[in-house]
Amino acid sequence: MSAEATNPEAHPEARPELRRRGRTRLDLRRLGRAALLGPTSRDRLPDAIGHVAEAHRAHHPDADLSVLRRAYLLAETSHRGQMRKSGEPYITHPLAVTLILAELGAETTTLTASLLHDTVEDTDVTLDQVRTEFGDEVCFIVDGVTKVEKIDYGAAAEPETFRKMLVATGNDVRVMSIKLADRLHNMRTLGVMRPEKQARIAKVTRDVLIPLAERLGVQALKTELEDLVFAILHPEEYESTRALIAAHAGERDPLPAIADSVRGVLREAGIAAEVQVRPRHFVSVHRIARTRGELRGSDFGRILVLVGENADCYAVLGELHTCFTPVVSEFKDFIATPKFNLYQSLHTAVATPEGYVAEVIVRTRQMHRVAEAGVVALGNPYATATADAATDPDEERVDPTRPGWLSRLLDWQQSAPDPDTFWTVLRAELAQDREITVFRADGGTLGLPAGASCIDAAYAQHGAAAHGCIGARVNGRLTSLSSLLSDGDTVQLLLAQDASSGPAVEWLDHARTPAARIAISSWLEAHPDRAMAPTSAARAPLSVVGARGGGGNAVADLPDATVRLAGCCTPVPPDAVAGFLVRGGAVTVHRIHCAAVAQMRAVGRTSVAVHWRATADCRVTLRAESFGRPHLLADLTEAIAREGVEVVSATVEPPVEQRVRHSYTLQLPDAAGLPALMRAMRDVPGVYDVSRV
């Protein structure tokens, strides 16, 4: 039971300046009296939920309110006799939670479950009763909230409890919506708790629930929770910020005048728009003050412009940047590239002739609704799901709106080796405030946190099979696995065919996602010989040398001259070649387009005519670029041998960022077989390029 209740006026968190403007607040005493009067006649809603119905109808004019009436009657009769610590009837708590969700635009099913969210845990009502009276969907949500409510956060906020909460939430995001509204109401009424308990609850809210609210896009709840936590955990900074806001209230606010100017500009341009001044909440003012130092009047709020269509947003932006002086560094386009939590808007800042800089947010009305309410604004995400999906509370349902980050959390939490690791990684994951989308080679997409590398993409796409990843192509170009990915990149991951391949210890330095780090660490623990193996970076190049020839089948028109094929360009028949006399009376043969030819001529080397013998054999030096893996050298030499080619010498350079360079001097029985040889070498797993030196 979430009975963390108190007198709503006994704590600074309940002060009017913290309340979001325009939000209806509950009069708990009036609600308590209405609840004590008991049920009303069957032909109308009880007075106690009249305001809930009004807020709900504002978003859903055609909603059927009869189910809310039945849910309230069941909740009121079930909780009758239970009191909050403030002395109010307990029914005021589910009413307050339901009103918060109704104001955000939650659909009827969510509101019904919200009214009943404590009944199964705290009263004699059973899940079967809820299912019989209100259907499988409401039962499923109430059961999920009950599982979350049963979590004992404990004095140290045990990590395993959050794993349970995550699993309960993952099956229906509406569970977390109700939990967040529940926590908000309890935080509003937290004053009679002991200071140490207030601090414990505030820390849990700060570490997990506020990041979850951010990721679910429920900004209206997130900002108020931030302010309430701020007041408890940082009372001195809170009082300082409150004094700043109070001092600003007595000064002339330049934002209304700037908003009037914006209205005039848009009116002249023929753009229908609603322009508002949005005051910053306490934590936002505190952050701005720390960043900018002394605050000016325009720093205490932002201008919000609401329009009808996406195209209108860019039309507004054009007018603002034409009629005012734009601050280019402040422009952000979250419409073309939405945030991971569904947020879309254009952000900019403009300077006025008076020297003020005003931040401006431009969005459509639908974007505004989603920005405030997040997943709550999506309605019922399971409306098209199969009817039997909710019959089994333990069965994970397909959620068409589940954010990618939530799916990732649900996946990796199953493989987290211990609660402490889970807790550490959970907090790190929730701290990520931006997500990118990359495209797979097969046309699918991957959602990853900002700063993710190709290693993270490999494990997100292939799971354990990513242990054998040897490289990647990003936007068509070969790159190392440590390369960072950007939003919109196309990534093709290259997997080794060798089942014994595994990740390198260095991969942990480049893995950002929990799934990748846990998988790599688990593999290294299971293969300690590989994990402890020294890196090959300190090894000298490996060379294999055979009998060396001279000029191959090149012949110089100079009697008794020694002919050598130049190592810089390794000419082979039927290349056009040029010869030059060098020290010792030898003739070096270069391809005609080799850069050394111009140098030879520039220093006055004697040119000697050369030609190829009629025999078809030749010598050539090839360079193979590859990703490091076990047995690569053996596989390459085997591929060369299958083509009937003799290895004269071979050099393998130390790997750099998992890349290895091999150089081979080869004797071919027939120059015509060179293209086939190069293709055979490229077909070796891990080799991404073969070229003549």
Strands 445-449 and 469-474: unpaired
Helix, coil or strand: residue 198: helix
DSSP code at position 44 = S
**What is the strand order of the sheet 646-652 is part of?**
542-545, 646-652, 659-668, 618-627, 687-692
Residue 504 DSSP symbol: -
What's at 204, amino acid-wise?
A: V
Nearest CA-CA partner of 5 in 166, 185, 136, 161: 185
What is the chain's percent helix, strand, coil content, to nearest 5? 45, 15, 35
The catalytic position among 4, 62, 88, 121 is 121
**Sequence-separated (6 or more) residues with CB below 8 Å from residue 606:** 580, 581
Rounded Cα–Cα distance for residues 477 and 7 (Å) = 63
Identify whether the C-beta of residue 688 lies closer than 8 Å to the C-beta of residue 471.
Answer: yes
CA dist., res. 594 & res. 517, Å (int): 48
122 included as an active-site residue:
yes
**Nearby residues of 627 by Cβ (< 8 Å), 6 or more positions away:** 470, 471, 480, 481, 494, 658, 659, 660, 686, 688
Cβ 390 vs Cβ 137: under 8 Å: yes
For residue 308, give both structure tokens: 């009808």
Distance CA 218, CA 467 (A): 37
Cα first-last separation, the chain: 74
- Is residue 226 a contact partner of residue 286, using CB atoms and an 8 Å limit? no
Catalytic residue among 122, 160, 411, 625: 122
Q: In this structure, what are the phi and psi dihedrals at residue 580, rounded to the nearest 5 degrees?
A: -140, 140
Encoded amino acid at 385, one letter: A
Token pair of 357, please? 């800089």
Q: Which residue has the tokens 């670029």?
A: 625
Q: 119 burial class (0-12, 13-18, 19+ CB within 10 angstroms)?
A: buried
Q: Which residues are catalytic?
A: 121-122
